[in-house]
Amino acid sequence: MSAWPTDPAEFRSAVREWCRTHVPRDWRRAQTGVPEKEYVAFQHDWFQELRRADLAVPHWPAEWGGGMSAAAQTVLYQELAAADAPRLVLAFVAIHHAASTLMVAGTDEQRARHLPAILDGEIWVQGFSEPGAGSDLASLRTTARRHGDRYVVNGHKIWASGAVHADWCLLLARTDPQAPKRRGISYLLLDMRSPGVDVRPIRQATGDSHFAEIFLDDVTVPAANLVGNENEGWRVAQATLGAERGVTMLELAERLGNAGFRWLVEACGARRSDGTRPLDDPRVQERLGAFETEIAALRALCRAHVERAAAGTTGPADASVVKLCYSELLQRVTDFGVEISGPAAHTVLRKPLSSGWESGAWMLDFVSSWEWTIPGGSSEIQRTIIGERGLGLPREPGAA
């Protein structure tokens, strides 16, 4: 059981003191331009530091090492952001997407196998998107043929975050090609060390290779790794996407509202070569005020979503609303940071690994911000979900 205080004010004070003594000093400088091997080691060490303090998976049930209330999670992420702590970038899919899926739809054996391993540092990747089936997952063509107690998988996944380092993959594959598009898909757990798995990094506009392609050539997956029922993977995938679009946003919104906005205010207050400051311009003041208001609204929206998720009262489109608001606000904030910083924004060619999308390296942050309006369901997909499931509008013509 966690030894953290239950009183909100005492908890905040205790977390703040913990951050003061445990957040690695000067990690931004040390993580800029660092080799991949050192980045992975740093991520592992920081995850274990948080785990020893019962702060790594606050959103998990208590029996698995979490059990923190929605209010306490908010305080935790506020304090981590205020202390400029590193993000758990490599563990992100494991502790959110994989864990939430296993808890909702996994078997007891799957949970017992993977949840402790995730706490030990097992890294996961999400194998949903394909060439020709990005946001339209129902069009995926990767196949899984059942042969006795195993599946044989063939196909091609793309835009897989962190696949180069992943131990396991959340894989969607078509098990019934004759069924309607959404009804012939199954959800499998793929060991990335299986023969026939080939991972190829994708070099991005920022110079990084956060994404990768995964090629699957006669890969064998035990039938015991099926999550949910065969051909009902679409429904299981909604648990994964719900985590990606909803609860994860609490941390990201707090970071945008804390470190991100702080970077923006500092950029506006920096003096130019002529001695003036962008902040002296009333139009800049107005835009800063508007951003502060929008960020405050986003943070409130995320907190409300986490509270509803804990109470089991989330609506069918709530996660899409949160994801849409965060991703498009992030894009506007980083765009403004580029505008305010002027030509200097284009000279920063590296940002610290283990940071988020609000590092203060404005051009890189802006380019990276587009990650959020495309994967996990593009903004167009989110609007469709909000219209159909949230507002009850007629289904899009031609949708299966």
Residues acting as catalytic residues:
244
Rounded Cα gap, residues 280 and 10, in angstroms: 39
At position 322, the amino acid (one-letter code) is V
Q: For 230-259, b where at least 16 C-beta lie within 10 A, e where not — what string?
A: bbbbbbbbebbbbbbbbbbbbbbbbbbbbb
Whether 124 and 191 have beta carbons less than 8 Å apart is answered as no
Rounded Cα gap, residues 40 and 34, in angstroms: 10
Residue from 319, 363, 280, 281 nearest 96 by CA: 319
Residue with tokens 């060490």: 45
Number of H helices, E strands in the chain: 14, 8
Q: For 326-339, b where at least 16 C-beta lie within 10 A, e where not — what string?
A: bbbbbbebbebbbe
The span from the first CA to the last CA of the chain, in angstroms, equals 47
Whether 353 and 39 have beta carbons less than 8 Å apart is answered as yes
> What are the φ/ψ torsions at residue 269 (nearest 5 degrees)?
-90, -5
Residue from 217, 165, 155, 158 nearest 186 by CA: 155
Three-state SS letters, 122-162: CCEEEECCECCECCCHHHCCCEEEEECCEEEEEEEECCCCC
